[in-house]
Amino acid sequence: MINLENLLLIDIETVPLCQGYAQLPPKLQQHWDKKASLIQYEEDNSVQAFSERAGVYAEFGKIICIGLGYFIHEENAWSLKTKVLAGDDEVAILKEFAAICRSFFKTPNKQFCGHNIREFDMPYICRRSLINGIQLPPVLLDLQNKRPWENPMLDTMQLWKFGEYKNFTSVDLLAAILQIDSPKDDIDGSDVAHVYWEDHDLARIATYCQKDIVTVAQILMRLNGLELIPAGKINFIPISRENLSA
């Protein structure tokens, strides 16, 4: 069985680097046009493609929110604490995240945990950190050369694959079939860019990210044959509104 207390749950929310294609520096516009053609957008639609797809690529997007969570076992019961790092200042978010990693991973056998974090969240964080000149914490150095048993990432999507390569299961679908409340009761990932750039509602995005952390935690409970964590045992560290955009 997985030692839940060794896990740092993680989920990120990303958006295009700027509000629209026109705000991109000319050199990046050229590179985006090439990228858009590779992802099967016609050249004259690369402007639309930027708004819809750029946020998923670290070269053309940025992180506006990192959700975190960890398990606590006491009095024969599990509880969960969650926290969100969110704001317009990506550098500040990444620096705080790096500091948390240095503290959490001081002891051995700790792992990150999330849904599809091997393919998306962790590579994105590493790339955006390097782009912003931020030193990676030791746990994220040289990931590509680590042996499988040294890999500091536990991915719920990989757990659900059971060795299958072609299957992709969203966190929302996995929650549904495991009878867990969906985090998509307000917005989903496709709405984040609009809510950020058009509505300027970071608090709404941060709340959505926090719900994703809880959902992944509950999925882990199910996959380990454990009872779901009751609502009264889930502690949401308050989102600091003064650090968010109005």
- The string of pLDDT tens digits covering residues 64-76 is 999 999 999 988 9
Residues of the chain with pLDDT under 50: 241-243, 245-246
| Span 35-62, pLDDT tens digits | 988 876 555 588 889 998 999 999 999 9
> What span, in angstroms and rounded, lies between the C-alpha atoms of 236 and 129?
26
- pLDDT of the residue at 139: 93
Fold adopted by 4-17+60-243: Nucleotidyltransferase; domain 5 (3.30.420)
- pLDDT of the residue at 44: 55
The side-by-side arrangement of strands in the sheet containing 111-114 is: 153-155, 111-114, 7-16, 61-74, 77-86, 234-236
- pLDDT of the residue at 148: 67
- pLDDT of the residue at 206: 94
